[in-house]
Amino acid sequence: MDKALKTQPLAEVRTSKMKDCPILTAGRITPLVLQSWSLACKRYMKHAEKKPEEIVSFVAEAMMEPWLVAWYQAGHTRIDSLTLTQYLEELAKLIELENLNAILTTSSPSHALTIEGLKIQLEANLNSECKLNLLNEPALSANLDAWTIEVKERDDRIKAEDARTQCLIDASNAARVVKRNEKRDLLSRLSDPPRSSRPNANTPTSRGNQLKLPKLTDGERELLDKYDGCTRCRKFHAGHRAKECWMVAKNSWPDAETYVPLTLEVALASKPQVSIPSSRLPAAAVISTPVEYCDDETDSYVDPSPLTIPHLVATLDAFGPNISEFPLSISALVDNGCPSTVISTALADQLGLRRYPLPPAEDNLSSLSESPLPCKEYVKMEVSSGNGGWRSDVFRAKVIVGLPLPLILGMPFLSSHQIVIDPNLRTATDKRTGFDLLNPTIPSRVWAPERIIPPPTPPKTPITTAVSLESASEPALAGYLLPKPIMAAK
């Protein structure tokens, strides 16, 4: 390594107070210096009275290293919009890249790669398609400069071929969608009159026994209005109303023999098909509205049962040390197929729940793609529903980083609280109390009657009665002193 690089002084992290912004001086930045700078920035975010989105702009301006100053000034708008964690991660990659470049530029020639070694190193980092192309057809020249030019041309041809193949696939998919939309929908196959000759007078459908078209009920009219239907041709998603219907000009009505009563299932089946997006979402995150699929390959009637229904999501109130006044309202996924109750790190941090180390045997979760979901900690929490009408016991939940949902109530929660799920009625009922978590009943507020202050009680006057000789009691002389002693008469 160059002697000047070795003698360059190390950068320092200077802080005077907890609330003051730290300063990174100019100098060589080692992993230890980078760690000290990260801890100082996090300490400043914790103690400074600044908004979280303003922290990066303060600490980035406190970097005094010239090349870091140039990096920040070149993209200060983008860097200021980063969070502190994103800023530190990008800074660590930038410093690591700068250190590697310094090693490459200052290494002595004795440690440099030879021409053959550099070629081997480049071949090892080629993509699989380019490696296969070179294996089937080796390069013409062994010279490094000519070899690199030839490999670059082959790689460009492979990219162009992949792009052309993708264009053909997209064009084929678009043509398939257009052809599918041109086919008749399910409602037209069910309600269109058959293309046959006029019935004979001797047939049951003669004028004397001809069926009459039933009148529209109030429910059918509501469905036609809701699904953009026509009350004359009685088709959903017709694109016109009764005044503009083509049957008005021909003075005709739908055929009574092939008429199908208008129901919600028929309305959903007649909905125009939409193009299916190419990207697929994880099954645990699909929350969609029911869309009926029309089978264009057969004319037989199939009960239009839904192919997709929304997940069971309960709105609950969560509590924690950080919640001082009102509980935090969250959306929890009720999933009886999840073997554990899990919580996202964002919700656990927002509630301020205490973390406990998870036993190694419980780190056993994986996603639908069989990729492991690391769990190292768990928390204890409780939730309520219906403005306190139902309250859970304290339960444990595993903490997962990057969970797309705040909380998933799995089998441990459902079994311990005796929750019974009915997918048909879309209910999750507590067997002990009968409370439905998905459809909570909020108790009505009972107001206390207005208190009426009674009037003051008047004082009672003693009742005095005149004492007469007849009503007077017998005198009792025992215990009383007479004015003079009583002498017995002789």
Q: Are residues 88 and 119 in the same domain?
A: no
Q: Are residues 236 and 172 in the same domain?
A: no
How many domains does the chain contain in total?
A: 4
pLDDT at position 119 is 83
Q: Are residues 222 and 172 in the same domain?
A: no
Report yes or no on 208 lying in a domain.
no
pLDDT at position 378 is 94
Buried b (16+ CB within 10 A) or exposed e, 128-160: eebeebbeeeebeeeeeeebeeebeebeeeeee
Report yes or no on 465 lying in a domain.
no
Buried b (16+ CB within 10 A) or exposed e, 342-375: bbbeebbebbebeeeebeeeeeebeeeeeeebeb
Report yes or no on 23 lying in a domain.
yes
Last residue of a domain, one of 430, 449, 483: 430
Q: Are residues 336 and 371 in the same domain?
A: yes
pLDDT at position 366 is 79
Q: Are residues 139 and 170 in the same domain?
A: yes
List for the chain the helix, strand, coil content (%; round to 5): 35, 10, 55
User: Sign (positive/negative) of CA torsion 246, 249, 250, 256?
Assistant: positive
Domain around 170: 115-182
Q: Are residues 378 and 424 in the same domain?
A: yes
Report yes or no on 435 lying in a domain.
no
Cβ pair 386, 397 in contact under 8 A = no
Report yes or no on 484 lying in a domain.
no
Q: Are residues 424 and 320 in the same domain?
A: yes
Q: Are residues 130 and 98 in the same domain?
A: no
What is this structure's pTM? 0.34
The CATH number linked to 381 is 2.40.70.10
Report yes or no on 460 lying in a domain.
no
> What is the phi/psi pair of residue 80, to 5°?
-65, -25
Report yes or no on 442 lying in a domain.
no
**What are the average pLDDT values for consecutive 10-residue runs of the chain, which has 490 residues?**
63 87 90 90 87 89 90 88 91 84 65 77 86 87 84 90 88 76 51 46 46 82 85 82 81 79 78 50 42 48 71 91 86 90 92 91 78 87 87 93 89 93 91 90 74 84 74 63 56
Q: Are residues 297 and 345 in the same domain?
A: no
Last residue of a domain, one of 109, 131, 165: 109
Q: Are residues 18 and 125 in the same domain?
A: no
> What is the phi/psi pair of residue 63, to 5°?
-85, 120
Q: Are residues 135 and 227 in the same domain?
A: no
Q: Which two tokens stand for residue 359?
A: 């036993």
Q: Are residues 70 and 22 in the same domain?
A: yes
Last residue of a domain, one of 58, 87, 109: 109
278-284 contacts, C-beta under 8 A, 24 or more apart: 278/173, 282/367, 282/368, 282/369, 282/404, 283/368, 284/333, 284/335, 284/367, 284/368, 284/404, 284/405
Q: Residue 188, SS3?
A: helix
Report yes or no on 155 lying in a domain.
yes
